[in-house]
């Protein structure tokens, strides 16, 4: 009997926590933010497709370039380069690698690997950001000169990760910043899963252009 009462109490506490969280997100505009972010992600997607189409038809045959890329570099070296880029500021646009995956013998598998590496690169960037706080100059700069900005950033930390995961912005930078503001890692892991959605959407668009 006591065990059942304990379980019921835990369930009630969990339900109450979920309800409070829902009310908070609703009050602060979190759900609307997700919807607006998804709509904003649509425009860059259209622009990427148009740019690829024009470039492919009037500048340089993308398929030839990707074929050469596949023949010149090994799959392992490309994946390592991609992971390094997705960890360190996202210097190389992931769209290049998404297009490359289409030219491989197993495009879906390689796309999943790319999305996973991008996701893991973001998580690693988070810990790099967190570790950077051990550097005195960085910590002082954040706590003194960026105090007001960081207060707002902490409040909307989940939005920061969501925007980095969905929109054509470096995901690594969002995660790095999250680590520097000590945003809960469990939320980074959760919101970062939208990275897989971005790769799926962009792959659908890019695969339609690349033969």
Instruction: Show me where the domains of the chain are located.
Output: 33-207
Q: How far apart are CA 83 and CA 121, in angstroms?
A: 6
Residue 38 token pair: 């998804």
Q: How far apart are CA 28 and CA 156, in angstroms?
A: 9
Q: How far apart are CA 143 and CA 154, in angstroms?
A: 13
Rounded mean pLDDT, 92-111: 89
Read off the pLDDT band of 92 (50, 70, 90).
confident
* pLDDT at residue 110, as a whole number: 94
Higher pLDDT pick, 70 / 73: 73
Rounded mean pLDDT, 81-99: 86
* pLDDT at residue 30, as a whole number: 58
Residue 21 token pair: 């969280």
Read off the pLDDT band of 40 (50, 70, 90).
low
Name the residue among 100, 103, 118, 84 with its Cα closest to residue 197: 118
The whole-model pTM stands at: 0.67
CA 81, distance to chain mean position in Å, is: 17
Name the residue among 89, 105, 81, 120 with its Cα closest to residue 199: 120
* pLDDT at residue 172, as a whole number: 85
Q: What are the pLDDT digits (tens) for 4-28?
A: 555 555 556 666 666 776 676 666 5
* Percentage of residues in the chain having pLDDT higher than 90: 18
Q: What are the pLDDT digits (tens) for 155-203?
A: 656 666 777 777 666 788 788 878 887 888 888 898 899 999 989 988 9
Rounded mean pLDDT, 112-136: 90
Name the residue among 154, 143, 160, 147 with its Cα closest to residue 34: 160
């Amino acid at each position: 009997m006591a065990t059942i009462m304990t379980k019921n109490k835990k369930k009630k506490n969990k339900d109450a926590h979920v309800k409070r969280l829902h009310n908070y997100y609703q009050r602060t505009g979190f759900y609307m933010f997700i919807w607006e972010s998804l709509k904003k992600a649509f425009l860059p997607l259209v622009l990427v497709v148009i740019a690829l189409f024009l470039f492919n038809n009037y500048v340089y045959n993308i398929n030839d370039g990707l074929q050469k890329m596949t023949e010149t570099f090994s799959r392992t070296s490309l994946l390592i380069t991609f992971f390094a880029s997705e960890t360190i500021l996202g210097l190389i646009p992931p769209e290049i690698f998404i297009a490359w995956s289409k030219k491989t013998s197993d495009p879906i598998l390689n796309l999943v690997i790319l999305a996973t590496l991008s996701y893991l690169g973001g998580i690693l960037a988070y810990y790099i950001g967190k570790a950077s706080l051990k550097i005195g100059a960085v910590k002082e700069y954040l706590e003194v000169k960026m105090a007001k900005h960081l207060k707002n950033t902490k409040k909307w930390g989940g939005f920061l990760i969501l925007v980095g995961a969905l929109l054509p912005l470096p995901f690594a930078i969002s995660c790095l910043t999250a680590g520097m503001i000590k945003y809960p890692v469990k939320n980074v892991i959760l919101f970062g899963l939208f990275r897989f959605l971005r790769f799926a959407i962009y792959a659908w668009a890019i695969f339609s252009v690349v033969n």
